[in-house]
C-alpha cells in the first residue's frame, strides 16, 4: 500500500467548502502516480519503454466529502494484473482513520508506438506488490446512456490545452468535471447525497476535439455521455444520489 497525507485546499473546494469530485479524482491519480515514480515506473520509464497505462474506468463509493482545511490520507494499491489489464484500489481517509471514499479502477497497458493494448510485462508487474481487493465492483466494461430517461442536449465543449496531460490526451478528471457541469446545469438533483460515481472511458480526446454532451435523468441517477459529432462516446459518467432526506 502506498499513501500520502494532505490538507484540503481552498482551491479544491466547491461553493459549500467541500472537496470537489474532480479534486478527489486528482488526489487518487496523483497517489498512484507518486507510487509509480517512487518505484521507478513513472513517466520517464514509460516514455523510454514506449508504454503507458490508460485508465478504463472508475467505480467510486462516497461516504463523506472532506471540508476545507481537513487533513486527509490518500492510499492506493494494485490488486491484480491479468493479460493487458491492471486493477487498482484507492481510499480516502481522515488522519484519524474515518473512511471517506473508496474506489476500484481498471487500467489498460498500451504500446504507445502502435497505440494498441499489450500484455503487462513481467518487469512491470513485479515492480508492484498486490494487496487484497476492496469489496467493490470493478468498473463496468459496458456503460451506456439510459435513453429511457429524460434526455438533455448540452452545448458542445472544445478540448483546450488546459485539459491535457503528459500523454497529450484530455486528463481523466476533466471528463468528469465537464460531465458534472452539464448535469448540474441541465438537471440538478432535487435532494439527496451523491453516494457513488461510475465512469467508463471509451476514446481519448485530444487538443481541438469537440465533445457533444448529453444528459440522462432517471430517478436518483444522473448520466452524461461525452461523444464526438458521430455519436461515438469518449466517456460515460454516472452519478447516483441517495433518496431525498437520507
Tell me what the mean pLDDT of segment 128-132 comes to: 96
DSSP state of 207: T
Residue 131: CB atoms within 10 A of its CB come to 12
Rounded-to-integer distance, Cα 38 and Cα 2, Å: 10
C-alpha cell of 40? 521507478
Q: What are phi and psi of 136, to 5 degrees?
A: -120, 150
Pairing relation of β-strands 210-218 and 2-7? unpaired
Specify whether the CB–CB gap between 73 and 3 falls below 8 A: yes
Specify whether the CB–CB gap between 176 and 223 falls below 8 A: no
Tell me what the mean pLDDT of segment 215-231 comes to: 95
Torsion over CA: 35, 41, 46, 51 (sign): negative
Tell me what the mean pLDDT of segment 41-51 comes to: 95
Rounded-to-integer distance, Cα 240 and Cα 218, Å: 10
Tell me what the mean pLDDT of segment 34-39 comes to: 97
Contacts of residue 233, defined as CB under 8 A and 6 or more positions apart, other chains included, come to: 145, 202, 203, 225, 226, 227
Task: Supply the pLDDT for residue 141.
Answer: 87
Q: What is the dihedral of CA 120, 126, 130, 136, to 10 degrees?
A: -10
Quick: pLDDT tens for 162-191. 999 988 899 999 999 999 999 998 877 877
R_g of the chain, CA atoms, integer Å: 18
Mean pLDDT, rounded, of the chain: 95
Tell me what the mean pLDDT of segment 196-216 comes to: 96
Would you call 116 helix, strand, or coil by DSSP?
Answer: strand
Task: Supply the pLDDT for residue 187.
Answer: 79
- Work out the percent of the chain whose per-residue pLDDT is above 90: 91
Question: In DSSP terms, which residues pair with 55 in a beta bridge?
Answer: 107
For the full predicted model, state whether its pTM sits above 0.85.
yes
Tell me what the mean pLDDT of segment 13-29 comes to: 96
Q: Which of 233, 217, 232 is nearest to 183 (CA)?
A: 217
All structural domains of the chain, each given as residue ranges with its CATH number in brackets, are: 2-126 (3.10.129.10), 150-241 (3.10.129.10)
Amino acid at each position: 500500500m502506498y499513501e500520502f497525507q494532505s490538507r484540503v485546499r481552498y482551491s479544491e473546494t466547491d461553493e459549500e467548502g467541500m472537496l470537489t469530485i474532480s479534486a478527489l479524482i486528482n488526489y487518487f491519480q496523483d497517489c498512484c502516480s507518486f507510487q509509480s515514480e517512487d518505484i521507478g515506473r513513472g513517466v520517464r520509464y514509460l516514455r523510454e519503454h514506449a508504454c503507458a497505462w490508460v485508465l478504463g474506468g472508475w467505480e467510486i463509493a462516497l461516504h463523506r466529502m472532506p471540508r476545507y482545511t481537513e487533513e486527509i490520507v490518500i492510499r492506493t494499491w494494485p490488486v491484480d494484473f491479468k493479460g493487458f489489464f491492471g486493477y487498482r484500489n484507492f481510499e480516502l481517509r481522515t488522519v484519524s482513520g474515518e473512511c471517506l471514499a473508496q474506489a476500484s479502477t481498471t487500467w489498460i497497458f498500451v504500446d504507445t508506438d502502435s497505440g494498441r493494448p499489450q500484455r503487462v510485462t513481467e518487469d512491470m508487474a513485479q515492480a508492484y506488490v498486490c494487496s487484497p481487493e476492496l469489496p467493490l465492483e470493478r468498473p463496468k466494461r459496458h456503460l451506456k446512456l439510459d435513453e429511457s430517461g429524460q434526455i438533455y442536449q448540452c452545448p458542445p465543449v472544445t478540448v483546450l490545452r488546459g485539459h491535457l496531460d503528459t500523454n497529450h490526451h484530455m486528463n481523466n478528471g476533466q471528463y468528469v468535471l465537464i460531465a458534472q457541469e452539464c448535469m448540474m446545469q441541465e438537471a440538478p438533483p432535487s435532494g439527496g447525497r451523491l453516494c457513488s460515481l461510475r465512469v467508463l472511458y471509451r476514446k481519448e480526446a485530444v487538443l481541438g476535439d469537440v465533445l457533444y454532451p448529453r444528459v440522462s435523468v432517471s430517478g436518483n441517477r444522473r448520466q452524461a455521455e461525452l461523444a464526438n459529432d458521430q455519436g461515438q462516446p469518449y466517456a460515460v459518467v454516472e452519478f447516483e444520489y441517495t433518496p431525498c432526506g437520507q
